[in-house]
Chains A and B, each alone.
Chain A
Amino acid sequence: MKRRDFLIFVSVTGLSPSIQAREDNRFKKEFAKQKPIIKAVQDHMFPKQSNIPSAHSMQAIEFLLQTIAHKSYDKDIRTFILEGARELNRREKGKFLSMSKEKKEKSLRAYEETEYGRVWLSRIMTLTMEALFSDPIYGSNMQEKGWRALDAYGGYPRPKTRYLEDV
C-alpha cells in the first residue's frame, strides 16, 4: 500500500467537503453491490443453531456497514473489505451466492489458502464478533444475547452513546 504520499498530501490540504461527500457516495454504492456476498460469508461463519447467536439474528451486516463507514474505521481496511468480497465472487465466477452450504465451505477454505483471502476472512470474522459482543448500543448484540451466550458481561457503567459521542 502506498499510503504515505497520499497522507502527506492530504495532511497539508485536508479533504474538501465535496470530495468527502463524493467518496461517501461511492462507498455506499459499492457496499450495496458487495453486501449479499459479505452477508453470505457472515451467515456461513455464524450460522443458526450454534452456541452463539447467528450473524443474521444479530443483524451483523448492518453493524458491519455502520462500523466501516464510521470515521474511526481505517479507510484502507474499509476498501479492502469491499475488494475482498469482489475477489471472492470473481474466483467463483459470480456463483458464490447460489452455492450450497458444502460448496461454500469448500470455496471459503480454498480462499483461506491464499494470504489475501485469509486476511479478508479474518477481518469479516472480527467485524462479526464485534457485532455480537459490542455493547448493544451499537445496534447488534440485542438483549445482550451475545454476552449471555458466553456468560460474559463486561463492566459498568455502560456507554450511553456510540463512539464516545457527546462525551
Chain B
Amino acid sequence: MYDAVVIGSGASGGAVAYTLCKAGYKVAILEKGRLIRREEFSKDELSYARRDLITPNLFDEYHVIEERVDGKWVATPTYESGWSFWNGNIVGGSSNLMSGMVHRMHPDDFRLKSKYGQIEGANIVDWPISYEELEPYYDLVEELVGVSGKYIPHQYEPPRRKDFSQPPTKENAVVKLFDKSCKALGITPLVTPRAILSQEKGHRKACYYSNFCGSYGCSSGAKSSSRETLIYPALATGNLTLLSNTHVKSLHSSKEEVKYANVVNTLTGKEKKIAARLFVVAAQAHESVRLLFNSANRHHPQGLANSSGQLGKNLLFSGGGSGQGELHEESLKEITLDELMTTGLFVNRTILDWYFVDHWWEGRFKGGSVEFMFEHQNIISRAVKNNVEEGKLVWGEALGKRLAKRFKEQKSIRFEIFNDWLPNDNCFVSVDESYKDKYGMPVGKLRIEGHPQDIKVGKYIAKKCEKILKKMGAKNIYSSISASASQNLVAGGCRFGNDPKRSVLNKYCQAHDIPNLFVADASFMPTGGSVAYTWTIYANAFRVADHIVAYLKKENT
C-alpha cells in the first residue's frame, strides 16, 4: 500500500509528491493525462493552441457553464460553446503551459476583511494563516522550482529577505520606451518575476527565448513546470510511482477515512482501485471539487468533506481584463523597428502602483497588478484576428495587404490586469446528474458571476494603463474589462479556515471531516489576491506537504 496517493501531477500535486518522496514515503501520482517529455514538445500551433489534444475532447469530457442572461441562469455545456475549462492534462498539468509571470501575494491579501472591511454581496474573510507563514515557502519555490527576477523595492512589493538568485529573463528593447513613458507619468515600472530560468541549473537548460512560451511546453527545461522541477527529481528518489493515463472517478471512504481511489485507465478503459494511507487531491480547483462531490456516499451524502455545505462555494477566477495598442515605426524614437521586431525576448514589466488605491475622489479600495507583454506571437491566431473591418470579413487582395502590414510594420503590446475576483454566492461548482462524461460521472457545473466591484477596479486600472500605451506612442489602443472568467486561473471551492462549520479544510488544507484527506491546489483560497496564482499554489502545496510529513510520522508512532 502506498503511503500517499496524489491526484493530479500539476503545480500542487508535484510539490506534495516531491516533498513526500524526499522524506522517504512511497507515493503514487494518479494523472489522467499522458507524459510528454521535454524533447517531444514542439511549437506546433495547430496542435497545441488550436485543438484539444493535450486536454480532453469536449464531446467526451466537458463542463457546464451557467451564466446569467437577461436575468435568468442559462446552462451551456462547453461542447456547445467550445469554451474549454481544461487547462493542460498531461504530466505536469497546466504548469507546462504557463507563461510563468508570477508574484507573491501581498501580506494584506491574507487579511483583506480586517484591512478593507466587508463589501456588500461579497463573502470576504481573512485567511487563517499570515504572509509570514507562507514566506519561507515562497522562498523555497524561488530556489527549488525556479523564479528569476530582480528586486526593486516598492511600497506594494511583499517583503523579501534577498534578491533573486537568477537574473531576469532577457528583455526586448521596447522596455527603454516603456520605462521612459512610465517615469514621465510618475509610474514605477518593476521587473516581472518569472517561473523561467535565465541560467542553466542542474538538469535544466536556460531559456532560449523560443518565441512561443505560453500555451506551449518548454524544450529546454527552463520553464518551471512541475514535470521538470518536481516530478523528475521525485522519480529519481525511487519512491514515486507515476501512473499516467489514470483518471480518478471517485474516492471511496468510510465515515473516518478515505480507503481507495476508483480509477480508469484512459487508454484501455480498465477500472481498478488504488489504496493508500492518505489521499491528496490536486486536480486544479474546479476538478478537485467535482471529485469530492462525485465521491458522496452514505456517510458523506453531500460529498466528501462537505459537512459544512461549503464545498464548491466561492469559486474564484481572476478579475480584471486586458488591453492592447499597436507600436508603429514612426512612434518608436529611442529604438528601431528591427529591435522591436526581434522575436522571443520578453517585455517583463509589472506595475504594482495601483495594488491598493487611496484616491481623493475614487475612494480607498483594493486594486490590482498589471503585466505588460507582447501580444502572443501565434501566427494563425494573429491572422484570424485581423480579418474583419467594419464588421465585414476582409478577403481577396485586401486581406493580403492587411496581413502583410499587420505582421511586418507593427507589433502589439498588451497589458493584463489582475484584480481580486471577489468571492460571491453566484460563483460556485456543483454537479448535476443530467450531465455526465464518457466515464459516466457527473461533470463539473460552474455557475459564474463576478462582483460589480471587480469591474470598477479593472476599469480604474485599465485607464491608467491606456495612458502608458499612449505615452509610448501606441495606436489603436483599446481595453476590455469584464466579468468573463479566466478559465486558466482558477481557485476557491474548498475554503480553508478554523471553523469546520464554515470551511471545507483546516489551515493545513486537511479536510475537517476526514483526517487522511488533503486538498493541495488553489481551491483552499478564500480570497485570491491580485496576482496570478501559481507562485502561491506552489508555495502553499509545499507548506501542506510539510504538514503531511508530520502527520505521517505521527501515524507511524
Contact = CB atoms under 8 A, between A and B. Distances in A.
Residue in B45, B379, B437, B439 with the greatest tally of chain A CB atoms within 10 Å: B379
A50 interface: yes
Interface stretch (B36-44, B295-303, B545-553): B36-44
A159 to B, nearest CB: 4
Interface stretch (B157-165, B181-189, B359-367, B394-402): B394-402
A3 interface: yes
Interface string B363-393: 0000000000000010110111001000011
Contact of B395 (A44, A73, A137, A163): A44
Interface string A139-159: 000000001011111111111
Contacts of B356: none
A147 B438 contact: no
A51 B43 contact: no
B478 interface: no
A12 B397 contact: no
Contact of A164 (B44, B343, B383): B44
B440 A11 contact: yes
Interface stretch (B74-82, B95-103, B462-470, B479-487): B74-82
Interface residues of B, number: 56
Contact of B42 (A3, A11, A130, A160): A160
Interface stretch (A25-33, A79-87, A89-97, A120-128): A120-128
Contacts of A149: 400, 403-404
B219 interface: yes
Contacts of B77: 3-4, 7
B400 A155 contact: no
B151 interface: no
Contact of A112 (B42, B54, B393, B436): B393
Interface string B426-449: 000000001111111000000000
Contact of B59 (A7, A44, A45): A7
B42 A159 contact: yes
Contacts of B384: 125-126, 129
Nearest to A108: B395
B46 interface: yes
A155 B208 CA distance: 10
A11 B436 contact: yes
Contacts of A14: 438
A163 B36 CA distance: 13
A155 B210 contact: yes
Given A45-B395, A45-B396, A51-B404, A155 B344 contact: yes
Pick the most buried of A152, A156, A157: most chain B CB atoms within 10 A of its CB. A152
Nearest to B407: A150
Contacts of B380: 129-130, 133-134
A114 interface: no
B532 to A, nearest CB: 22
A6 B382 CA distance: 35
Contacts of A158: 42-44
A74 B50 CA distance: 11
**Which bucket holds chain A's interface residue count?**
35 or more
B212 interface: yes
B51 interface: yes
A151 to B, nearest CB: 5
Most buried by A among B52, B82, B216, B407: B407
A122 B393 CA distance: 7
A48 to B, nearest CB: 10
Given A133-B379, A154-B212, A45 B50 contact: no
B36 A51 contact: no
Contact of B387 (A1, A125, A147, A157): A125
A8 interface: yes
A156 B44 contact: no
Contacts of B382: 152
Contacts of A159: 42-44, 47
B12 to A, nearest CB: 25
A49 interface: yes
A125 B399 CA distance: 11
Interface string B61-85: 0000000000000000101101000
Given A1-B80, A4-B77, A154-B211, A138 B46 contact: yes
A45 B399 contact: yes
A19 interface: no
B335 interface: no
A130 B397 contact: no
A126 B82 CA distance: 15
Which interface residue of B54, B212, B383 has the most chain A CB atoms within 10 A? B383
Contacts of A150: 379, 383, 403-404, 407-408
A75 to B, nearest CB: 7
Contacts of A3: 59, 77, 79-80
Interface string A1-22: 1011001101110100000000
Contacts of B216: 155
Nearest to B211: A155
A50 B46 contact: no
Most A-side CB within 10 Å, residue of B40, B44, B82, B382: B44
A118 B77 CA distance: 24
B23 interface: no
A155 B380 CA distance: 13
A45 B52 CA distance: 27
B53 interface: yes
Interface string B190-221: 00000000000000000000111000100100
B18 to A, nearest CB: 25
A156 B220 CA distance: 11
A103 to B, nearest CB: 14
Which 4 residue pairs spanning A and B have beta carbons closest together? A50-B400, A51-B400, A159-B44, A155-B43
26 contacts: A3-B80, A11-B60, A11-B439, A44-B395, A44-B396, A50-B400, A52-B399, A52-B403, A73-B51, A125-B395, A130-B50, A132-B383, A133-B380, A134-B380, A149-B400, A149-B404, A152-B379, A152-B382, A154-B43, A154-B45, A155-B377, A156-B210, A157-B219, A159-B43, A159-B47, A167-B36
